[in-house]
Structures are given as C-alpha cells and as structure tokens.
Amino acid sequence: MKTYPEYEGTPNDGDGLVWDETDKVWKPAAGGGGGVTDHGLLTGLGDDDHLQYHNDARGDARYYTQSQVDTALSGKSNTGHSHASGSITDLSEAIDDRVAALLAAGSNISITYDDGTNTLTISASGSGGGNDQLAWLGL
C-alpha cells in the first residue's frame, strides 16, 4: 500500500496543494488565498487574451455577415421560378419516357414505345362488336 508524506506547513481551509517531487511532500499552491470576492472587482476582464473564444470581430472574419448573405441573396426568388420548355435539356425525352411508363396494356390492347423513333403505338386486337353497341344512340 502506498503511503503519502504529511502536509508541510499549516493548511488553511480551501488551500490548494501541489506535489513537490524534490522534497516528496505536499505544499500549498503558490498564489492561493487573498484576491477579491466580488467578481465586479476583477481586473483584466476586457482583455482579449483568449483567442479561442468567440467575439464579434473574430466571428465576422470567419463567417459571412448578415449583410453579405443579404447581398448574395438579393434578386433571387424566394418562392419559385419557371423556365421555357425549350430551355430544359431533354424535356421532350423525359415526358415521352414518363407517358410510356404511365400507360398499361389491357385485354386485347398492346402498347409499344419506341424510344429510338419517339413513337408510342397503342393497338387493339379481336372483334370490335360493330356499331350495335351504339344502337341506343340511334346511330
């Protein structure tokens, strides 16, 4: 079991201690005690000696300011915009592909989409039943 030498000197309530390797003894930390008890009496509070902390000057140098963002966004649409169909690359091809994908063949109906010739053919087979289906219209 490790033992520790006794404290050198007379300790006071709240003393900080440091280990003195040379003398192998705990000693009071230098600079302890005294000081102020009212934070309003501390000195050096206005010093900018902690460069890792944010202040407005460092923030402005690192990040865009509100006016820079406003300038960059001025004149931009905040809701939406439109394009002429002719200015959209491959719009017709995209519409052709979408229409072909939407259609589904049914009984005696076939659908053929030819991407190379840009044609969509819908064909029916079987008997059509003649005009008797329209007889009720008097045709």
Locate tokens 């840009």: which residue? 118
> Which two three-digit tokens encode residue 41?
């009496």
Percent helix, strand, coil in the chain (nearest 5)? 30, 15, 55
Residue with the larger pLDDT of the pair 125 and 31: 125
Using pLDDT thresholds of 50, 70 and 90, give the confidence band for residue 3. Answer: low
Check whether 104 has a pLDDT greater than 80: yes
Residue 121, H or E segment: strand 119-124
**What does the pLDDT read at residue 136?**
58
Domain boundaries, the chain: 1-32, 92-137
- Considering only CA atoms, which of 104, 120, 124 is closest in space to residue 112? 120
Exposure on the CB side of residue 15, measured as CA atoms within 13 A: 14
Check whether 119 has a pLDDT greater than 70: yes
> d(Cα 130, Cα 125) in Å, to the nearest integer?
14
- Considering only CA atoms, which of 35, 27, 30, 29 is closest in space to residue 5? 27
Check whether 35 has a pLDDT greater than 80: no
One DSSP character per residue, 44-94 reads: -TT----TTS--HHHHHHHS--HHHHHHHHTTS-SS-----GGGSTTHHHH
Check whether 128 has a pLDDT greater than 70: no
**What does the pLDDT read at residue 102?**
92
